Each structure stands twice: as C-alpha cells, then as structure tokens.
Amino acid sequence: MSIITGQRLLTPAQASEQQRELDGLRTKQLALESLCNQLRSEIKRHEETALDQLRQVSMQHGTDLMAKQTEILGLKETLSQLNQSVDLVSQRQIKENSELLDQLNWLSGTIAHDFRAPLRAIDAYSFFLADDLGKNAPPEANKSLEEIRRNGKRMGVLLDALIEYLRLGVCPLNIQQHDLSEVLVQVVNEHFDFSPVAIEIQVHGTWRFDKPMMMRAFKELIDNAVKFSKPVDSPRILIRLPSPDNLEIVDNGVGFSETHDAQKFQLFHRMHGNDEFEGEGVGLAIAKRIASRHHITLNLNRVGNQTVASLQRTDLLPS
C-alpha cells in the first residue's frame, strides 16, 4: 500500500499480467472493429446490388407497361374500327331487308291481283261455258271444264304457297324460351286430333325459337309423316329428343326414293305422284326455310324401314 497515494501497489508480476490482459482486450476490440467495418461494407454492397436490380426491374417493367399500353390502345382502335364495320354491315343489312320487304310487298300485291285476275277469269268463264252448254254438253267437254277449274284452283294454291315461302324468309323473329313438349302437344292437339296415325311424344327439354313459326315447321313435318304412314299396317309416329340439341320425328311410312334425295326440300317438288299422295310439294320446303332462320339443320333420311326427320341445332341463338 502506498503511504503517499493510498493505492494498492502491484507486484511486477501482477502488473505484467494486467498489461497482457489490456493488450488482449485491445486486440479483440480491433478485431471487432474490423469485422464491423467488413459487415458495413458487405451490407452497403448488397444494398447497392439490390438498388441496381430494382432499377433494372423498374426500367423493364416500365418498358413492358408502355408496350402493354400501346397494345391496349391498338386493340381499342381495332375494336372501334370493328364496331364501325359492324354498324355499317348492320345498316346495310337493315337497308337490304327493308328493300326485300318492299319487293315482297310488291310481289305479293302483284300475285294477289295481276296473277290472280286471269285465274278468276278462267274459273268464271268455265262456269259460263258450262252453263251455256247446259245438259246437252258432251261428257268430254264437261270433263275438260272440270279439269280447267281444278288446275285453276291448284294454281291459286301454288301462288299462296309462294307468297308464304317468301314471307317466311324475311319476316321478323320473336325468339323466346319454350318447352318443346308443350309446343309439340299443342301442335298435335290443334292439327292432328283426329289423325288415323298414332303420334307419341317423348320429349323433355326447352329450345329458344319463334313459337308460331316453329309450330308451323313441326306441323309440316308431322303432316308429312302422317301422310306417308297411312298406307302401312300399324302406322306409328314417334317424336323424340336423342340429345338436347337434336329433335327427331320418326315414322314407319312408305318413305321416299333415293332419286329424290337432293330435291326433297325444293319448293313444289313432289316425291310421289299426284295419284298416290295429295300435296303440292310445299310443306318440307317451308319447314326447311323456318329451320334455317333458327340456325337449325333439317335432314330427312331413310333408316331401315323408318323415315327420320332430324332437327339439329348447329348455332344457338343469342340471348
């Protein structure tokens, strides 16, 4: 113990030991400071690398964004051009339909008046001639007069059918969702209540169509099946729905020859002679025209001893 300072005096050995400890602490401090400096440098380097990558990504995304914006603007311009084209096409179609309706109205009036006037005259003068001849008319003359009147009436029927066929091609459609079974039952009840041929309906589903027009198409197809089924034993007509988009009207009637396959839907074309079956070759043509207006493919094929009228929806009508 020092008498002057009052502090405890160290021996040389103890002082040397403390000096070594201080030197060790300084060495560790320097090592820590060096490690800290290295960590700071590493962190700064990573920060700079990350910033560089972020700048590159930002620049790239900025370029992509500009490209996308340019692409979107181009698509908008294309869409605008398409809309303008659609508007022009729609206006042109409206104009063409209007012109067709005007022509149809003119043709209907012409048929109703100018074409029918000679028919009325032929029919009237045939009666006048028969009255003038009286009971003394030869049988051949009476037969000729009856043939003249019969063909005059047939010509009137053909003119009516032509007007109806033209009208069905341009008249507006009122498309709605309808229950197929209900519509078919209504057609059968209204037109085939006393049919000599049994008609079975096995249909469950809904289609979208103009009801009056499709009822007309169904009526013509069922009438065709009934007409050609009468001569066979145990005639039967089955209306079925093999798939949601396919309706079939199947009969076991006499069918038709393959020679008529290409013309079976042609207006005024008959697949049998006048002495075999009645009709003017109008029903199938009208059914085909109505089906086409509804994007429906109508086919009539002979499968074994059955005739199958198939209505296949190929393009669903928009809502």
Q: DSSP letters of 96-153?
A: HHHHHHHHHHHHHHHIIIIIHHHHHHHHHHHHHHHHHHGGGS-HHHHHHHHHHHHHHH
**Model pTM score:** 0.62
The residues, any chain, with a CB within 8 Å of residue 258's CB and separated by 6 or more, are 302
Measured at the alpha carbon of residue 216, what is the angle toward residues 227 and 170, in degrees to the nearest 5?
130
Q: From the DSSP assignment, how many helices (H) and strands (E) are in the chain?
A: 6, 7
Question: How far is the CA of 57 from the CAs of 46, 64, 100, 141, 212, in angstroms?
Answer: 16, 10, 62, 103, 65
- Residues of the chain where predicted confidence (pLDDT) is lower than 70: 1-19, 21-24, 47, 50-51, 54, 57-66, 68-69, 86-87, 89-90, 93-94, 97, 108-109, 111-112, 257-262, 269-279, 315-319
Q: What is the pLDDT of residue 2?
A: 43
Query: Closest by alpha carbon to 219, among 256, 184, 244, 174?
Result: 184
Which residues are registered as beta bridge partners of 298? 311
Single-letter amino acid code for the residue at 143: K
Q: What is the pLDDT of residue 291?
A: 93
Structure tokens at 70: 């340019």
Helix or strand holding residue 176 (H, E): strand 175-179
Q: What is the pLDDT of residue 120?
A: 81
> In 10 A of CB 216, how many CB atoms?
19
Mapped onto helix, strand or coil, the DSSP state of residue 63 is: helix
